[in-house]
Structure 1
Amino acid sequence: MKIAKTITELKTGLEELGRDKTIGFVPTMGYLHDGHLSLINKAQGQNDVTVVSIFVNPTQFAPGEDLDAYPRDFDRDSQLAEAAGTDLLFFPDPAEIYPAGASTFVEVEGEITRKLCGQSRPTHFKGVTTVVNILFNLIQPTRAYFGQKDAQQVAVIKKMVRDLHLPVQIAVCPIVREADGLALSSRNVFLSPEQRSEALVLSQSLAAAKALYESGERSVKVLKDQLVSQINTMPLAIIDYADILDFETLADIETITAPALAAVAVRFEKARLLDNIILD
């Protein structure tokens, strides 16, 4: 596995691997877990070359968020990435991605970035779309792989790719969970044993909402009330949002008549956890 820390090293590595080959790209912020590895495995199986980036992107963190505390372990990550079949690992410093004086951003406007995570983190997606666009420009992947756990991020990136006519296919892979149902996240490391136990309410509340939906319930209000009431049974859980939206557009709906996304974000002190399920 090649490791590149600079853009020059990245371009050299890509040339050595062969620019005429298909490239599968997995962008990450590191502290890899089985969810990331499932994306790498998928990319490795569908492309000639697999590129993984590890970059804790400062522009998607607002002041007071966990940028400095975000878990990092490059030695461990590089070993896991190589074992999963990565051909080239890009591990740049922030100054490499954002040169001195950089003031150009890519932003997807509209409701798609204003609700869910965008409501409590209004600058977040501007940072996400900017860095993903930079990485796409540098790597020029055939396909890029994202996890369904970050469903809103996936929808925003798909819209950016469509609006800007970027020549990359976005592949969305299923959420990977622990045996007890907790969605894998790098931030799970921040949970105390008691918080870890209570965090199961995310997947449990979503499963209960799906069961209610499958029994015939189509009212978004009824299903949202079920989500909120179940999460609120956990004393350490603080709801950021619990919502049900159109799956494709993230538009508000009152009644489910097409595939819908049930999504929750819940805080446990330092850990802000996301989870979702598709009602289809």
Structure 2
Amino acid sequence: MLILKTRNELFDFIQYINAKNLSLGFVPTMGALHDGHLSLFKRAIEDNQYTIGSIFINPTQFDNQNDLLKYPRTVEDDINKLESVGCDAVYIPGVEDLYPNGLECDTIAMNGLDLVMEGEFRPGHFQGMATVVKRLLLQINPTRAYFGEKDFQQLQIIRHMVCALKLPVEIVGMPIIRESSGLAMSSRNMRLTPDFKKKSIFIYQSLLKAKELSSHYTPQKVVSKIEKMYLNTDLKLEYFTIVNEETLLTANTFDDCKNYRAFIAVFAGDIRLIDNLQIR
């Protein structure tokens, strides 16, 4: 596997791919790879003649600098995992490769998709995320790029951005990969204490309960019932909401012609976890 550490090294690799007119799959990550990430790489390898990943902990998408400092950094282990699944190359740029003029975000219109849920509680997060994804897509020019549905709001924003900017890349969303307990796989899980890791199983259980309740109650009533369930736990609920999948706007009623998804953010001690589930 090629390990590309500068924009110039990446450019040489991309030129080789383009000269041979080969399809290229791309999986952007911030490292600390787990089976959820690897599922994206396996799909990219199936779909394309070459596959490249990136590892870059993007400073502009952290609204909490302490969270940035504590984010797991496991590059050697990540490289070993990518080699084990057959990835062809990994791009590990420095900050200067993606932010040559300093840590500034591009102005990217998101049609309001960035103003709810994560956007409300993490101001600036999506501008930082969209900036780095756009710059990576422009540098790599892949045929397809792969993103997990665990960050479903991010996925919808990227789809909108790619369409608005007319970028020639297919965005592929992939299902959430869960631990045997149901807990959504996340790089943050490795920071959970054993006690909170066990208690965090309740997050997925509450999403399944919301799906069950949605057959009998309005969205607002389902949200109210789930919020009450968290009053009796050691988990601190930041938000629980049910939205239209396409617009990400709060659902007031359930329309059989539309898809609805429940989203949740929870603090397990000082670790913030998110999850979501299509409920209708």
TM range (shorter): over 0.9
CA separation of 1:148/1:104 partners in 2, compared to 1, >3 Å: closer, same or farther?
A: closer
Q: How does 1:30-49 map to 2 (within 5 A)?
A: 30-49=31-50
Q: Residue 154 of structure 1: SS of its match in structure 2?
A: helix
What secondary structure does 1:177 align onto?
coil
**Which residue does the alignment assign to 2:81?**
80
Q: How does 1:15-34 map to 2 (within 5 A)?
A: 15-19=15-19, 20-34=21-35
Distance, in Å, in 1 between the alignment partners of 2:231 and 2:156 is 28
d(CA) in 1 for partners of 2:177, 2:187: 12
Match of 2:253 in 1: 255
Question: Any conservation in 2 of the 1:44–1:85 contact (CA below 8 Å)?
Answer: yes
Counterpart residue identity of residue 239, structure 2: Y
Query: Is this contact kept in 2: 1:106–1:133, CA < 8 A?
Result: no
| C-alpha separation in 2, matches of 1:203 and 1:101 | 39
Instruction: Give, in whole Å, the separation in 2 of the partners of 1:109 and 1:117.
Output: 14
Give the whole-Å Cα distance in 1 for the aligned partners of 2:177 and 2:80.
20
Give, in whole Å, the separation in 2 of the partners of 1:167 and 1:82. 28
| CA deviation string 1:113-153 (max 9, x = no partner) | 01100011110000010000000000001111000100100
TM-superposed CA distance for 1:107, in Å, is 2.3
Match of 1:267, SS state, is: strand
1:164-202 deviations in whole A, cap 9, x for unaligned?
A: 111111100000000010000000011111111111111
Q: What CA RMSD, in Å, does the superposition of the two structures yield over aligned residues?
A: 1.4
Report the alpha carbon displacement of residue 242 of structure 1 after superposing the two structures with TM: 0.5
Partner-residue secondary structure (3-state), 1:67? helix
Distance 1:151 1:101 in 2: 29
Aligned to 2:264: 264
Superposed counterparts of 1:67-216, under 5 Å: 67-101=68-102, 103=104, 105-213=106-214, 216=215
The one-letter code sitting in structure 2 at the alignment partner of 1:172 is: G
Q: TM-score, normalised by structure 1?
A: 0.95
Which residue of the partner structure matches residue 243 of structure 1? 241
Give the total of aligned pairs: 277
Closer, same or farther: CA 163–17 of 1 in aligned 2, 3 Å = closer
Q: Deviations over 1:89-128 (max 9, x none)?
A: 0001112211144645142344310110001111000001
Is contact 1:24–1:141 with CA below 8 Å preserved after alignment? yes
Equivalent residues of 2:241, 2:250 under 8 A apart: no
> Aligned pair in 2 of structure 1 residues 233, 110: CA closer, same or farther (>3 Å)?
farther
Q: TM-score, normalised by structure 2?
A: 0.95
**Counterpart residue identity of residue 4, structure 1:** L
1:58 paired residue number? 59
CA contact (8 A) 2:110 2:157 kept: no
Structure 2: unaligned runs, 5 residues or longer = none
Counterpart in 2 of 1:276? Answer: 276
Quote the Cα distance in structure 2 between the aligned partners of 1:167 and 1:18: 14
* CA drift at 1:239: 1.4
The letter of the residue matching 1:226 is K
Unaligned runs of 5+ in 1: none
8 Å contact 2:27–2:53 — kept in the other structure?
yes
Q: Aligned partners of 2:117 and 2:66: how far apart in 1?
A: 17
Cα distance change of structure 1 residues 110 and 17 upon mapping to structure 2, 3 Å threshold: closer
Q: String of CA shifts for 1:5-64, please: whole Å, max 9, x gaps.
A: 100001112233454111111000000000000000000000111010000000001244
Separation (CA, whole Å) in 2 of partners of 1:106 and 1:135: 16
Q: Distance in 2 between matches of 1:39 and 1:94?
A: 24
**More deviation, 100-109/74-83:** 100-109
Match of 1:233 in 2: 232
Q: Which amino acid aligns with 2:279?
A: L
- Of stretches 36-45 and 16-25 in structure 1, the one that deviates more from structure 2 is 16-25
- CA deviation profile, 1:222-279 (whole Å, cap 9, x unmatched): 11122212233212x1112100000111012211112101010111233111111002
